[in-house]
Structure 1
């Protein structure tokens, strides 16, 4: 599993797609794939859009579900996950936005722990974290 993190509109998708140039890629944009057609690489991006449709009060169960599903999906093709950094010390006023930020933080910690590679993208430039 390869994880790419950066702020919104910092070039994460372009960076990953350049890395995967010439490969058969399936992109799950804003949804969590239950099944994926055969491919060389699966790119999962904008998971936060899928997360807002879940009961964020149950964030531990959500994180466990995502990790379990990703391990199954990774059996079929290389897995590239693109996530948006939404923390940076800013605490949203609305409860739902705080829950989303907190759930993303817990999910990202779990993803980083499982990932073989973590790269931070800052305006199109990648910095290897792990």
Structure 2
């Protein structure tokens, strides 16, 4: 599994899709697929969009469920995950926004621990951090 993180509109998707231009890649945006698409590389982006639709009060169980589903999705293919950095030290005023930021932080920690590579994208420039 390879994880790419960066701010919104920092060129993460363009960077990843350029890396994969010679491979059979399927891009999924904003949800976890129920069925596993036939492809060599599965690119999942926008997990935070999917998280908004979930019960964030149970974030530990939610993170474990997501990790289990992602493990199943990477069977027989390479998995690339693109996530948006939501923190940067700003604490939102609204409870739901804080829960989303906290859940994303826990999920990202777990993803980074499992990932073979972690790359930060800052305005289209990549920096490998793992």
Q: Normalized against structure 1, the TM-score is what?
A: 0.98
Q: Which residue of 1 aligns with 2:64?
A: 64
CA apart distance, 1:76: 2.9
Using the TM superposition, name which of 68-77 and 85-94 deviates more: 68-77
Q: Which residue of 1 aligns with 2:12?
A: 12
Say whether the 8 Å CA contact 1:31–1:49 is kept in structure 2.
yes
Say whether the 8 Å CA contact 1:26–1:36 is kept in structure 2.
no
Aligned equivalents of 1:3, 1:9: Cα separation in 2: 16
Aligned equivalents of 2:114, 2:17: Cα separation in 1: 22
Aligned equivalents of 1:31, 1:14: Cα separation in 2: 19
Q: Which residue of 2 aligns with 1:31?
A: 31
Q: Which residue of 2 aligns with 1:44?
A: 44
Say whether the 8 Å CA contact 1:38–1:76 is kept in structure 2.
no
Q: Normalized against structure 2, the TM-score is what?
A: 0.98
Structure 2 residue 70 is matched with structure 1 residue 73: no
Q: CA RMSD in A?
A: 0.6
Aligned equivalents of 2:107, 2:79: Cα separation in 1: 16
Q: Which residue of 1 aligns with 2:124?
A: 124
Moved over 4 A (4+): none
Task: Tell me the SS of whatever aligns to 1:100.
Answer: helix
Unaligned runs of 5+ in 2: none
Q: Which residue of 2 aligns with 1:92?
A: 92
Q: Which residue of 1 aligns with 2:55?
A: 55
Q: Which residue of 1 aligns with 2:101?
A: 101
